[in-house]
Amino acid sequence: MKKALSIFASGALALSLATSATAEDKRYIVTFKEGKGESVRSLVQQNGGRKALDVRNHNAMAAHLPAKALMALRRNPNVAFIEEDLKRYPLSQEVPYGIPMVQADQLSDLQAGNRTVCIIDSGYDLAHEDLSGNAVTGSNDPEGTGNWYEDQNGHGTHVAGTIAAMNNNAGVVGVMPNSNINLHIVKVFGADGWAYSSSLIAAAEDCAANGANVINMSLGGDRASFFERRGFDNLNKRGILSIAAAGNDGNTRHSYPASYNSVVSVAAIDSGKNIAGFSQQTNQVELAGPGVQVLSSIPTGSGQAATLEVAGAEVEAAAMTGTPIGTITGALEDCGTAESACVSAAGKICLIQRGNISFADKVLNCEAGGGVGAIIYNNVPGMLYGTHGGVETHIPSVGISDADGSALLTQLGASATIETEAQDYAYFNGTSMATPHVAGVAALVWSHYPNCSNSEIRTALHVTAEDLGDAGRDNAYGYGLVQAKAAFDYLAANGCTGSM
């Protein structure tokens, strides 16, 4: 994924930190002493700096500073401290099943109107059939990411669907599906999928100003920010529960804001309750949620669905993300792993094994040989959900399982038809997808016990999580899989303090 504050969706986006900017390019957070804001702003301008954002509640501003301005500010007694304004991006990957897994279907959301979940992300498709009827407000980021009720990236709409997709006999349902929860959307990510840490704190403050009890941040970056940590510490003291994705790098490095003590860090597991290979494992991980092959809403018409028929029989298939829309028929041709042009594929549909090169390159090599469609089968057990990664291809392409691929190798020459069409839902993978499961459960449980504090709800979720991995808390799963009904029952029996 990218380096900067990024959306956490593995295989799609990820909250990281930019490391290649020059001093002249860099943006900084300048925190000044009480009452000295105008003086510092003037100094920035006088030395060729450019203000980007005021963060007034924190006596700070974000600014693009050349070396001259940076040096002048560091010497000025009105400046408390300066640090680089780190980038943050969204986190994700591709798929669904998590609602019963976190026991959301065992707990009524009729009381959810007393809680507000704020989603800081890439926007919200207000026209979507599964989202349009929710109680939702929003704010546009002042830095030009566009309208909060539109989503050019898709990540935020997917996250929102996991929390609150409506029970309307269409699409999917979220943790709270009856349009009772209040949502507030702050759009910090545009189509490029990243933002700054100062923008994140400004967004979180906007959440607070709009009554947020829970903040969902499916995003992160690999460097800590003192300004950011202080901001989330302050929000925590004000009774807000902040929840963020642990990260998708599959290692033991910390990701931020998830790894601040005042933020709940969420790991991703699959449908078998196994830790996802991409999920970061650290001593800050607190809870786990479903994050592999999570099905949820995406901006209307932005996804692809597929059907595949071979010799008159239907074969389960998934459209490659980014594939063209259309229908094509041709004879089935074995193209191996398609690491070069499949010269025998003219007018045919290429059957290709996964491995060695990207899916997009395989499809392009099918095209180069005259192929009219591509079927890529897995080289490990299970369905293949793939993406072209933004590379333009011109023929329909789908993924299938390893077992179906082996079966089709015995049917070479048979007539195959691929049909791809637009759809409003997609499978994503990532700690980005696990995070809204936890945020949704936190708000759902809290709505039944609104007199509890944020820290008391947090403790209840720890105590009642389904222990996975090593006994007790561990760095992969934290305290375990979040459980809505178990947390509700715990608070009913023990009260907010756990000592009733």
User: What pLDDT score does 91 carry?
Assistant: 53
What pLDDT was estimated at residue 13? 35
Q: What whole-number distance in Å separates Cα of residue 35 and Cα of residue 49?
A: 20
Please give the pLDDT value at position 248: 95
Please report how many Cα atoms fall inside a 13 Å half-sphere around the Cα of residue 101, on the Cβ side: 23
Report pLDDT digits (tens) over 140-194: 877 778 899 999 889 999 999 999 999 988 889 999 999 999 999 999 988 777 7
For residue 462, indicate whether it is catalytic. no
- With bands split at pLDDT 50, 70 and 90, how would you rate the model's confidence at 388? confident
Residue-wise pLDDT tens digits, 372-385: 999 999 998 888 88
Confidence of residue 12 (pLDDT cuts 50, 70, 90): very low
Segment 231-255 mean pLDDT: 97
pLDDT digits 0-9 by tens, 279-293: 999 999 999 999 998
Share of the chain above pLDDT 90, in %: 75
CB atoms within 10 A of CB 354: 20
| The pLDDT of residue 9 | 53
pLDDT at residue 46, rounded to an integer: 93
Tokens found for residue 357: 């090169």
151 flagged as catalytic: no
- Per residue, the 3-state secondary structure of the chain, as one string, reads CCCCEEEEECCCECCCCCCCCCCCCCEEEEEECCCCHHHHHHHHHHCCCEEEEEEHHHCEEEEECCHHHHHHHHHCCCEEEEEECCEEEEECCCCCCHHHHCCHHHCCCCCHHHCEEEEEECCCCCCCCCCCCCEEEEEECCCCCCCCCCCCCCHHHHHHHHHHCCCCCCCCCCCCCCCCCEEEEEECCCCCCCEEHHHHHHHHHHHHHCCCCEEEECEEECCCCHHHHHHHHHHHHCCCEEEEECCCCCCCCCCECCCCCCEEEEEEECCCCCECCCCCCCCCEEEEEECCCEEEECCCCCEEEEEEEECCEEECCEECECCCCEEEEEEEEECCCCCCCCCCCCCCEEEEECCCCCHHHHHHHHHHCCCCEEEEECCCCCCCCCECCCCCCCCCEEEECHHHHHHHCCCCCCEEEEEEEEECEEEECCHHHHHHHHHHHHHHHHHHCCCCCHHHHHHHHHHHCECCCCCCCECCCECCECCHHHHHHHHHHHCCCCCC
Active-site option among 85, 109, 121, 404: 121
pLDDT at site 170: 84
- Give me the mean pLDDT over the 478-482 stretch: 98
Catalytic residue among 64, 155, 437, 448: 155
pLDDT of 200: 94
| Residue 201 near residue 62 (C-beta atoms within 8 A) | no
Stronger pLDDT, 25 or 62, i.e. the higher one: 62
- Give the pLDDT band of residue 422 (cuts 50, 70, 90): confident
- Contact (Cβ atoms closer than 8 angstroms) between residue 146 and residue 187: yes
Range with lowest mean pLDDT among 3-7, 30-34, 417-421: 3-7
Q: What is the pTM of this model?
A: 0.79
pLDDT score for 387: 82
Annotated catalytic residue within 432, 447, 448, 474: 432
259 is catalytic: no
Band of pLDDT at residue 6, cut at 50, 70 and 90: low
What would you measure as the largest C-alpha separation in the chain, in angstroms? 79
pLDDT at 361 over 70: yes
Where is pLDDT greater, at 447 or 88? 447
What's the rounded mean pLDDT across residues 237-265?
97
Are the beta carbons of 27 and 106 closer than 8 angstroms? no
Confidence grade of residue 52 (pLDDT, cut at 50, 70, 90): confident
Predicted confidence (pLDDT) per residue in 128-138, tens digit? 999 999 999 99
Q: What is the dihedral of CA 67, 68, 71, 77, to 10 degrees?
A: -140
Q: What is the mean pLDDT of the chain?
A: 90
Q: What is the mean pLDDT of residues 307-332?
A: 91
| Dihedral in degrees, nearest 10, Cα atoms 366, 368, 370, 372 | 40
